[in-house]
Every structure is written in structure tokens, then in C-alpha cells.
């Protein structure tokens, strides 16, 4: 796919950015060095007449990306989850991209369904509507199944979207290489890494089986959550390019007038949406990473319904514990403990001063706690926290960036329902309960038991590992390759196994 068309595509991209006024916005957001700015202007300015005009009512960046088409819109959406790369201001602009594109004909959607599911649409559905929503990758139809008469939402990928995305992604890789070639100082922006991240996200969204699996896993995790519901996946009517979910009847979470008219308690809904997000992130480590009003409804019984599972976040158990301790430390205003957690996790280099770091954290937390309840923001706290930790040498952690971005979105949803919601008071019991379960004596015993189970599988091999390490130690090295490490590792594993087994026996 790589060829001259990529160069032409980049020229048109630069021309569109220049024509819409987005070029300066993007370069400023990336803090682009002078050589890169020169290259960008050389590509964009002389060919500005080739650029798309876009919608003048939109901000420059969203105007340009919308005009350039589906791949660019999706790229903007993905970058909106990376304020560490594009900055908070541009990330906020990109987050409002609505993916409202012209739909493709329903006849093409029907043909796609028949190819994928191997049956005529009339045999699968007694009703099949015109498109009710059209996005950059797919569009949605409302239908009724022939077998059960159930109302469903059928999501169908755009015809040829895989090839179209592949062409644009190739152009993105070329642009990233040009940036690294002509502006070595811009390598800190990690352009290749950013494009690779985008490529991975898109490849996942171009296979609707993966989104169906995400919805299924999310449903299994949250099955017992009161006041929360997900539309079920209809696996028999789903495939790589088609996904069918149960229809979600309800009022959009952003329609306050309709919620009031239906008698829903908006104060409780504002608290519940925050509780659910924190619970999913901490308890499960798997959360909906696009929880804006457009993906949330309120059912007639008051349940919050979530849908659209194209962007999900995952954080491992250790990171969840660190995140919870950091949040709980701020809630208790124990800045020394927050600082210690950063050092213990290896987030901040050990050669930095923990007391100085704690004072810097106090400078972050105290002004926020001094605010009125309706101005306290956990998202703002995390944003300030990342600024401080960066000054102390903390490397960017993309999983926490996605968590922070989602927290900002969820806070916005919550405040739209109740401007006076107290974020900290809502978060305190959720984080506190997680701390009790996951950090402490019971959690330690659970960790030791897990270690013992792993060691039980490798236990029969430990004597041989130790013997092999001793033999290598006795044999003159070729050059040395850390022979002492082998003995230490084997002995350490044996010690951990014996200790864990002893704890289990005593328990």
C-alpha cells in the first residue's frame, strides 16, 4: 500500500490543516520544534487551495479532521484520550468529535448482513429500519428478530472501510517518519508510537467480534451491580462485520428535562454514574472508557444503561492498588503517604527526595480541597498530579492517562445531572471499600496463596533449576552472564513457595 498516493494524501492533509487554521493549533499543542514547523508550512501553505474547507462553525482542529474523513476523525478521537501527547486544551476539543457522518444506503447494509450471516435479511428480521446513527467506522439500524420478535440494534461496518483505513494509516506512518527525519527534537513526541497505538485501536474496532467480546466481558463483570444494565449480545446475529445487541429503551442521560418529566432522581443518578465508573475501574480493572451522555441511557426503572463498547480501558491489579492508595491518600490529605506510594511503585526515581515530593503534592491537593463542593474535581486533581510527577521524573503511563481522561468525562456527565455533586464524598466509600479488600492482611494472604498456586506448578522443577545453576556457577564463565542471578532466583522462588505454603498451612 505504500507509494506516491501517501505523499499526495499528506499534501492534502497539510493543505486542509492550513486552510482551516488548524495547523498552528496542532503545532502549538505538540510544542513542535522550529524545523518541524517549517516542514509543515512548506507542505501545507503552497497547496492550501487543495485543502478541504470544512465547517467554519467548528473549532479549527475538529473542522479539519471532520473534513478529511473517517480515519482522521477516529485519529482525533484516539488522540483525545492522550492529553499527555496533545495537551489538555486540544484533547478537550478533539473529545467533542461526534462522528456524525452521512450514512451509507440501507440496501448496502442489508447486503453486508447477508454476506456475513449467510441468510437473507427478511429471514433474520421482520423489521429493519433506515440508519438511526452513522459514525466513522459503522452505522446502526433498529430491527426486530424473526425468531423471537425482540427489538435489537444492528451495527454494520461501512463497506470498504478496512481498505480506506489501511491507506490512511500508511500515510500516518509516513508522516511520523518524516517528523522523526526532519525534526529529531520532536522524537520526544513519540510519533511512531502514537500512530502504532492508533493502528491497534482501529484494528480492534474493525472486527466487531472483539467489540462483542468486550461487551460480553463487561456484562459478566457487572452482572450484580444494582442500578446498572447492558444490552445483551446476540451472538447468533453477530460476526466480524456485524454486531447485534438487544435494544436499550431509555432516556438519554443528557436530557435533563425528559429525566425530570419521567420522575427520575438526577441527584442519585449523578452519584451512581461516578460510583459505577470507580467500581469498575478499581474492582474489575476493566471499564467503559467512553462514558459520555451519548453512550448512556436511563431505563424506565431508573437503571443506567451503557452501550457502544469500542473503547474499553484495562488496568492490572497492581496498578489498581497504587491508584486506589493515591486517591485515598488525597481524600485523607495524607500527602506523605501519597508520595511514598509513588516511590514504592517505582513511578518516581528513587534518587528524588520523598519529603520534597510530598510538599509538591500538598501544593496540588490543598487548593482543590479549599474549593466549594461544586468546583472540586478529581479529574483536575489527576491532571495536576501528572504535571507534578512529570517534573519529578515520572515516565508517562498510558493506562493512567486513559483512566484520567475517562474520569474527566464521567465527572462532566455527573455535573450535568447535578452541578453541586461532591466528587470526593461520592468517591470515599467506593475507594475505601476497595482499600479494605485489596490492601491489608487479607489481601496479603490472598497474594501468598496465589504465589503458592503458581509455585506448585513449578515446584517439581525447582531442584533441577538449582542444580543447573550450581553447575553453571562451578563452570568458568565464557564471559559471565549473571550466574549468581540463577542461584538467587531459584533459591528465592523456593523460599517464596515454602513461605506461602507455610502461611496457608497456618491459615
**How far, in Å, CA of 460 to CA of 137, rounded?**
51
Contact between 97 and 209 under an 8 Å Cβ cutoff? The reply is: no
Cβ atoms within 10 A of the Cβ of 358, count?
19
Contact between 250 and 299 under an 8 Å Cβ cutoff? The reply is: yes
Cβ atoms within 10 A of the Cβ of 237, count?
21
Which residue in 171, 140, 165 sits closest to 154, CA to CA?
140
- 290 is a catalytic site residue: yes
Q: Cell 438519554 identifies what position?
A: 252
**How far, in Å, CA of 94 to CA of 75, rounded?**
9
Annotated catalytic residue within 199, 290, 316, 355? 290
Consecutive H or E run containing 312: strand 312-314
CA distances from 358 to 340, 348, 365, 389 (A): 8, 12, 10, 11
Write out the three cell numbers for 448.
Answer: 501468598
3-state SS of 122-138?
HHHEEEEEEEEEECCCE
**How far, in Å, CA of 151 to CA of 128, rounded?**
10
Cβ atoms within 10 A of the Cβ of 478, count?
6
Q: Which long-range contacts link 324-332 to residues 24+ away (Cβ below 8 Å)?
A: 324/282, 324/431, 324/434, 324/435, 324/438, 324/439, 325/435, 325/439, 326/385, 327/378, 327/427, 327/431, 328/431, 328/432, 328/435, 330/365, 330/381, 331/424, 331/427, 331/428, 331/431
Eight-class DSSP state of 289: S
Q: Cell 451495527 identifies what position?
A: 155
CA distances from 291 to 32, 79, 280, 398 (A): 31, 16, 12, 18
**How far, in Å, CA of 294 to CA of 301, rounded?**
19
Consecutive H or E run containing 288: strand 286-288
CA distances from 386 to 13, 336, 358, 361 (A): 32, 17, 14, 10
Return the active site residues: 290
Amino acid at each position: 500500500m505504500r507509494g506516491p498516493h501517501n505523499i499526495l494524501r499528506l499534501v492534502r492533509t497539510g493543505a486542509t490543516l492550513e486552510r482551516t487554521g488548524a495547523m498552528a493549533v496542532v503545532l502549538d499543542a505538540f510544542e513542535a520544534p522550529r524545523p518541524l514547523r517549517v516542514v509543515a508550512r512548506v507542505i501545507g501553505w503552497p497547496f492550501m487551495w487543495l485543502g478541504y474547507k470544512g465547517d467554519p462553525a467548528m473549532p479549527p482542529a475538529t473542522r479539519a479532521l471532520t473534513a478529511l474523513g473517517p480515519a482522521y476523525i477516529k485519529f482525533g478521537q484516539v488522540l483525545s484520550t492522550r492529553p499527555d501527547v496533545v495537551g489538555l486544551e486540544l484533547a478537550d476539543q478533539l473529545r467533542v468529535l461526534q462522528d456524525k457522518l452521512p450514512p451509507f444506503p440501507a440496501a448496502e447494509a442489508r447486503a453486508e448482513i447477508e454476506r456475513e450471516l449467510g441468510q437473507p435479511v427478511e429471514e433474520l428480521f421482520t423489521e429493519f429500519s433506515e440508519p438511526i446513527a452513522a459514525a466513522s467506522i459503522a452505522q446502526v439500524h433498529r430491527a426486530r428478530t424473526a425468531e423471537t420478535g425482540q427489538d435489537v440494534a444492528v451495527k454494520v461496518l461501512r463497506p470498504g472501510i478496512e481498505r480506506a483505513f489501511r491507506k490512511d494509516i500508511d500515510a500516518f506512518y509516513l508522516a511520523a517518519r518524516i517528523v522523526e527525519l526532519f525534526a529529531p527534537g520532536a522524537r520526544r513526541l513519540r510519533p511512531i508510537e502514537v500512530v502504532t497505538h492508533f493502528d491497534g485501536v482501529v484494528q480492534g474496532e474493525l472486527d466487531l467480534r472483539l467489540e462483542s467480546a468486550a461487551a460480553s466481558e463487561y456484562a459478566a463483570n457487572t452482572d450484580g451491580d444494582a442500578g446498572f444494565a447492558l444490552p445483551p449480545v446476540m451472538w447468533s446475529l453477530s460476526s466480524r462485520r456485524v454486531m447485534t445487541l438487544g435494544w436499550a429503551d431509555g432516556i438519554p442521560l443528557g436530557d435533563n428535562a425528559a429525566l425530570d418529566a419521567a420522575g427520575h432522581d438526577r441527584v442519585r443518578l449523578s452519584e451512581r454514574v461516578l460510583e459505577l465508573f470507580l467500581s469498575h475501574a478499581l474492582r474489575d480493572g476493566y471499564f467503559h472508557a467512553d462514558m459520555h451522555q451519548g453512550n448512556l441511557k436511563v431505563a424506565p426503572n431508573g437503571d443506567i444503561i451503557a452501550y457502544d463498547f469500542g473503547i474499553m480501558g484495562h488496568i492490572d491489579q497492581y496498578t489498581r492498588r497504587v491508584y486506589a492508595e493515591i486517591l485515598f491518600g488525597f481524600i485523607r490529605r495524607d500527602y506523605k503517604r501519597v508520595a511514598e506510594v509513588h516511590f514504592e511503585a517505582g513511578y518516581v526515581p528513587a534518587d528524588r527526595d520523598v519529603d520534597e515530593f510530598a510538599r509538591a503534592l500538598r501544593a496540588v491537593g490543598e487548593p482543590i480541597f479549599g474549593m466549594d463542593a461544586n468546583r472540586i474535581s478529581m479529574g483536575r486533581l489527576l491532571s495536576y498530579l501528572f504535571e507534578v510527577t512529570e517534573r519529578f521524573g515520572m515516565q508517562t503511563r498510558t493506562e493512567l492517562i486513559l483512566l484520567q481522561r475517562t474520569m474527566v468525562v464521567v465527572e462532566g456527565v455527573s455535573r450535568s445531572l447535578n452541578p453541586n455533586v461532591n466528587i470526593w464524598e461520592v468517591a470515599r466509600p467506593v475507594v475505601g471499600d476497595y482499600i479494605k479488600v485489596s490492601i491489608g492482611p487479607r489481601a496479603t494472604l490472598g497474594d501468598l496463596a496465589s504465589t503458592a498456586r503458581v509455585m506448585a506448578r513449578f515446584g517439581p522443577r525447582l531442584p533441577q533449576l538449582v542444580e543447573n545453576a550450581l553447575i553453571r556457577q562451578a563452570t568458568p564463565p565464557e564471559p559471565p552472564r549473571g550466574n549468581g542471578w540463577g542461584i538467587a532466583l531459584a533459591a528465592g522462588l523456593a523460599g517464596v513457595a515454602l513461605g506461602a505454603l507455610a502461611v496457608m498451612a497456618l491459615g
